[in-house]
Chains A and B, each alone.
Chain A
Amino acid sequence: MTFETLSARFAPARAVRRPRRVRTSSFSYRFWRSRTALIGTAGLLLVVLGAIFAGRIFEADPLDMVARPFIWPFTDAAHPLGTDMLGRDILTGLVHAGRVSLAVGFSAAALAVMLGVVFGAVSGYFGGWADQILTRVTEVFQTMPPLVFAVVVVAILTPSVGSIVLGIAVTSWPQIARLVRAETLRLRDAEYVQAARVMGMGHTRIILTHILPNAISPVVVAGSILVASAILTEAALSFLGLGDPNLISWGSMIGAGREVLRTAWYMTALPGLAISFTVMALNLLGNGLNDVLNPRVSLS
């Protein structure tokens, strides 16, 4: 081998583009590496897509009687999951009920997170008497058993989607508020917050641009698990007959199937499975996000 060929071989390739810098700490990089988060997202996506396109896939009203009652699942191709005691198609019902369950779950969680973030950030950042008052208020809400409290709220406001969302949100915001308060307490004396004050930044802007972005990781995790627990609470309320009477949800399907549990157990089991599947997907997503957002956990 001559010197020329050798040097040609080891000469730096001039045309090679510099590789794009990959941030191994970035959210998307870590997200794609977390199996838990991906499985959770996939499961949730399935349910969400089903709910969104429910009207397209199954055009019939889920409350219409379409066939003979008590068709068992997997016995009739026209009704793959069978019919209930009034002859309503169960698969149509499940998909449409997913809409209500998910809508209630997500909006209750969103409302709870909003309330919790505002209360927690204000009480943690300003401290003093504001903190004293807000912490007491939070504690009052936390002393009440959540389901009983939700039942009371829904019963007073008459059952509807709005009152169910409110009932669930009112019982679950304190945990978010405590989380945000603790994070804010940790961050408010950080030197970068002091630096922001030295340059003349106002409190609201400091909270919005420095405190919340740094406090949001645990809130995202808690929020996704909150959606799961809101779906469960909604199911419990519907089961107790406190659901919106004009809408079908997984909980109300279970409640309706309860009476024929011994002869047609599939009527309770199928919506139960749908709830378990959704809640599990959300919990997986929550746990996955916890790993993704915590830089100290290595994802391999």
Chain B
Amino acid sequence: MSNVLEINDLVVSYRTARGHLTAVDGISLHLAPGETLGLVGESGCGKSSLGKAIVQLVEPSAGSIRVEGHDLSTRSRAERRALRPKIQMVFQDPMGALDPRQQAGTILETPLKLHGLRDAAARRARVATLMEQVGLRPEFIDRLPHEFSGGQRQRLGIARALALNPSVIVCDEPVSALDVSLQAQVLNLLRRVQQAQKVSYLFISHDLSVVEHIADRVAIMYLGKIVEVAPRSALWRTPAHPYTRALIEALPRTDPARHRIADKQVIGGDLPSPYNPPAGCRLHTRCPLAFARCAVEEPKLATIGDGHSVACHLHDAAVAKAA
């Protein structure tokens, strides 16, 4: 089967008081059925904007989003609305994503009502199934969000996303607001749901170790651009981009002999202003391996292995030398 989600040269920009801000700058991605793509990047690199564009919360300025082959940009409003159930979202803050005045049952029933499940008994049955699926006890149905624990709230958020049988769920940092013990619980739930329903995830996170847990493929994002995409194992064994390497090395490891701070190649400083991104390779201001060409020419995303692409001049050079 073909891809459930295809993004081509997507640009998302905002007009702000400080000027034009391009949060997502020409990104192409695809998502196969039942696959999990991890999207990793620092705060402010545009990963949430990408997620919001996919669920039609922000209007892209250019490029296309195809959902199961239907291009959103060429569709009418009614058709786009009809495609909304295909892509759902799990939010970062489980408390903020639930209306404080609505009971769990109402929260889960609303999407069913909106999309034409008229029969009240059928809705109740579906709500019960959903709650069971995410491990919430049936008697919780009349509870208000503040009467749940953080993990339960996030499970309710997941159940709501599942209500419409989506083919893609955009998970925007779904565990970063939770305790570590709950993170594993929610991640396992997401994986279990995926096995049962063949749903695909775009899993947005700033935490590589969380993505390591759940993603089949990983895309690394820096200042609105994808710098590297690779299957999980390839990314961990042979990270090709200096930025990816720095992210991996920044993770705490339990091998004191090999990984000391002094040995690490750390990317210092802050993210440059996205209002005025650096010319050439966007990382060159912070990259320890940057050379003259990096400041002038922007590297293109190029394939270097099976499903592994990277945007870095170092690899251009390596490929050129080998050839």
Residues of A within 8 A of B (CB): 23, 25, 190-192, 194-201, 209-210, 213-214
Contact = CB atoms under 8 A, between A and B. Distances in A.
Contacts, number: 59
20 contacts: A191-B91, A191-B92, A191-B93, A191-B96, A192-B96, A194-B52, A194-B89, A195-B91, A195-B97, A198-B55, A198-B84, A198-B88, A199-B88, A199-B110, A199-B114, A200-B82, A200-B114, A200-B115, A201-B110, A209-B110
B259 interface: no
A214 B84 CA distance: 25
Interface of B: 52, 55-57, 81-82, 84-85, 87-89, 91-93, 96-101, 110-111, 114-115, 144, 146, 157, 160, 163-164
Contacts of A199: 84-85, 88, 110-111, 114-115, 160, 163-164
A199 B163 CA distance: 10
A214 B88 contact: no
Contacts of B82: 200
A214 B102 CA distance: 10
| A25, A195, A196, A209: residue with the most chain B Cβ atoms closer than 10 Å | A195
A23 B52 CA distance: 36
A197 B96 contact: no
A213 B101 CA distance: 8
A195 B159 CA distance: 12
A200 B146 contact: no
A194 B157 CA distance: 13
Contact of B96 (A190, A198, A209, A213): A190
A182 to B, nearest CB: 18
Given A196-B110, A198-B88, 6 more contacts: A192-B96, A192-B97, A195-B89, A198-B84, A199-B164, A200-B114
Contacts of A197: 56-57
Given A200-B85, A200-B115, A201-B110, A195 B101 contact: no
A197 B55 CA distance: 9
A255 B77 CA distance: 61
Contacts of A191: 91-93, 96-97
A262 to B, nearest CB: 57
A196 B100 CA distance: 14
Contacts of B163: 199
Contacts of B99: 192, 210, 213-214
A235 B163 CA distance: 56
A242 B160 CA distance: 58
